[in-house]
Structure 1
Amino acid sequence: MLRTPTGETRLRILAWLKEPGPAADGVTADDVAERLSIPRPVAVTHLRLLEATGMLRTSRSAGGVRYHRDDMRIAEVARMFEKAW
């Protein structure tokens, strides 16, 4: 899922969400679309997939849905791959 051309976009999203500002505040689909120069619907698709796999969690604010990394889940997934399931 993360080692395909579209997976590279998801890796970029996860890496960006480690940075201090996005890590603290989260990002919106509009933020991702602007940052990665991709259409908003494409950004939403990537964000929803990452949320569905548990790597992102959401919160709601006046600005809409904000996405945040779930570092515990990311570490859990990484351990599963290290063990080769």
Structure 2
Amino acid sequence: MLRTPAGERRLDILEWLKEPARHFPPQRRADPVEDGVPAAAVAAKLGVRREVADTHLALLTGLGLLRATRIRRRLYYRRDEMRIAEVARMFEKGW
């Protein structure tokens, strides 16, 4: 899943969300570090339509690597550090 061109984009998203304040513009209604980043900001950074970004974000959320928080009518995405560490340990063990 992460070894395809689309997987590279997903890895980019995970990397950017490590330091969201550095990679995304400030938001009016949410703190990028505490609340996350909206799909529209991820789409703009990737240079793709929002629907494409939504697909990547939904997959990463489904895997448990991201958490989504609804603020008003938008979903904001941030990394789930505990789950990412768990997955990294599985790969280290040769899973």
Is TM (by shorter chain) over 0.5? yes
**Which structure 2 residue ranges, 5 or more long, are not aligned?**
22-31
Q: Give runs of ≥4 in structure 1 deviating > 4 Å.
A: none
User: How large is the Cα RMSD of the aligned pairs?
Assistant: 1.3
Aligned to 2:76: 66
Determine if the alignment matches structure 1 residue 47 to structure 2 residue 57.
yes
Instruction: Report the AA paired with residue 35 of structure 1.
Output: K
User: Aligned in 2, Cα 1:15/1:51: closer, same or farther, shift over 3 Å?
Assistant: same
> Unmatched 5+ residue regions in structure 1?
none
Bigger proportion of residues as helix:
1
Cross-structure match for 1:10: 10
TM-score (norm: length of structure 1)? 0.91
Aligned residue pairs, count? 85
Q: Confirm or deny: 8 A CA contact 1:23 1:69 kept in the other structure.
A: no
Residues 35 and 69, structure 2, Cα contact 8 Å, conserved in 1: no
**TM superposition shift of 1:63:** 4.9
Partner of 1:23: 33
User: Matched residues, percent identical?
Assistant: 61
- TM-score, normalized by length of structure 2? 0.82
Q: Structure 2 vs 1, CA of residues 52 and 82 (structure 1 numbering), >3 Å: closer, same or farther? A: same
74-83 or 15-24, larger mean C-alpha shift = 15-24
Q: What is the CA-CA distance between 1:24 and the residue it aligns to?
A: 3.0
